[in-house]
Amino acid sequence: MLRADNVSVRFGGVQAVEQLSLDCPPGRITGLIGPNGAGKTTLFNVLTGLQRPTAGRVVLDDHDVTRLSAQRRARAGLARTFQRLEVFGSLTVRENVLLAAELQPKLRGAAAAALADELVHRVGLEAVSDSPAGVLPTGLSRLLELARALATSPTTLLLDEPGSGLDETETRSLGDLLLSLAGAGTAVLLVEHDVELVMRVCEHVYVLDFGQLLCQGTPSEVQADEAVQTAYLGAELSSTGARS
């Protein structure tokens, strides 16, 4: 289980995240929503080791990983995708995924290749498998990042706006994919602006505003929270059904 424990991040005079705590248990899709600049991506960077918190701890499977590098956290089962894409543009789509698979200590040669091919197929990118990742449109690049993250066989998966750039059908398929991953025991933390997707797949939602936790609960509880409706969701939520 991934846990943020009273995490704070300060950039000069700006408090980007303030004493934030959240749990991301196995088998659950946890939503993290909030307006732009709320501190979601900063929190992701803290959780994955790309940003050192000013205060607080990050705990992964009962181990304090606050001082561990991003690499070591990844090896401990933490994988992520990025809001601003970080695909390996000079490698082909297949090579992107294969590289991540090959880094698994017990997965070499043909087994890594088989996993890479399977994941490329799974996210629906086999048609562009041999194309350089640098020429993919944004939506497909996000799917590639998802496949690459899955190739590390993560126990915890952090997804930063994976639905951005996808059309309605693709978003629905993405939601199904996430539900199947959670069903198999993966802990998923989802940052997403597509409220419909969040309400559909998440069991628990945290709402951030100005780096602080505004509210948390089930999608229906969050939906009912007046502060959330005022600060962020507004009328959009009221027209969206809770997770069925």
Partner 1 sequence: MSTFLALAVTGLVTGCLYALTASGLVLTYTTSGIFNFAHGALGMLGAFTYWQLTDWGMPPLVAMLLIVLVLAPLAGAVIEKALVRRLGAASLEVTLTVTVGLLLLLLGIANTLWDTSTPRRVQPFFAGEQVTVGGVVLTGHQLVIVGTAAVIPFLLWAFLHVSKVGVAMRAVVDDRELAALAGASPARIGQLGWGLGAALAGLAGVLLASQVTLNTTTLTLLVINGYAAAVMGRLSSLPLTFVGGLLLGLLQSLAVGYVTVSWLSQLQTVIPMLFLFVALLVAPPTRLHVGSLAPLRAPRVAAARRTALWAAVFVGVLALLAVALPAARVSHATHAMGIAVVMLSLVPLVGYGGMVSLCQLTFAGIGAVALAKVGPGWGIVAAAAVPAAVGVLIALPTLRLRGLYLALATLAFGYAMDDAFFLNGSVMTDSLGLPVPRPLGLSDDRAYLVVCGVVFAAAAVGVLALRRSTWGRRLVALGDSPAGCATIGMGIRTTKLAVFALSAGLAGLGGALLGGQQGTVGAADFDLLLSLTVLLLAVVWGVRTVSGVLIAAFALELTPLLQGHLGPVNDAVPLLVGLGAIGLGKSQNGIMGACFDRVGGLRRLPLVPAPRTPTEGDPAREEVLTSAQG
* From candidates 4, 151, 201, 231, binder to partner 1 by CB under 8 A: 151
Window 213-242: contact mask with partner 1 (x via CB under 8 A): ------------------------------
Q: By CB under 8 A, which span of 17-25, 122-130, 199-207, 213-221 interacts with partner 1?
A: 122-130
* Smallest distance, partner 1 to C-beta of residue 36, A: 12
Distance of CA 195 to the CA centre of its chain: 15
Q: Binding of partner 1 at residue 149 (CB under 8 A)?
A: yes
Task: Using the minimum distance from each CB to partner 1, give the nearer residue, 109 or 226.
Answer: 109
Amino acid letter at 110? Answer: A
> In this chain, which of 170, 193, 224, 229 binds partner 1, going by CB under 8 A?
170
Q: Going residue by residue from 35 to 74, which x/- string records binding to partner 1, judged by CB under 8 A?
A: ----------x--xxxxx----------------xxxx-x
Applying CB under 8 A, which part among 114-122, 194-202, 204-212, 229-237 lies near partner 1?
114-122
Q: How many CA atoms lie within 13 A of 9 on its CB side?
A: 24
Return the closest-CA partner of residue 191 out of 19, 46, 92, 6. 46
Secondary structure (3-state) at 31: strand
Quick note: the x/- pattern for partner 1 over 68-107, rule CB under 8 A, is -xxxx-xx-x-xx-xxxxxxxxxx---xx-xxx-xxx-xx
CB of 200 to partner 1, least distance (A): 14
**Diameter of the chain by CA atoms?**
54
Q: Residue 146: CB partners within 8 Å, gap ≥ 6?
A: 81, 123, 159, 162, 174, 177
164 interacts with partner 1 by CB under 8 A: no
Kindly tell me the burial class for residue 179, based on how many C-beta atoms sit within 10 Å of its own C-beta (0-12, 13-18, 19 or more).
Answer: middle
In eight-state DSSP terms, residue 243 is: P
- The residue range among 58-66, 140-148, 197-205, 216-224 that interacts with partner 1, by the rule CB under 8 A, is 140-148
Residues from 15 through 34 that contact partner 1 (CB under 8 A): none
- The radius of gyration of the chain from alpha carbons, rounded to an integer in Å, stands at 18
Give me the residues paired with residue 80 across strands: 158
Does residue 2 touch partner 1 according to CB under 8 A? no
- Please give the structure tokens belonging to residue 99: 């590289």
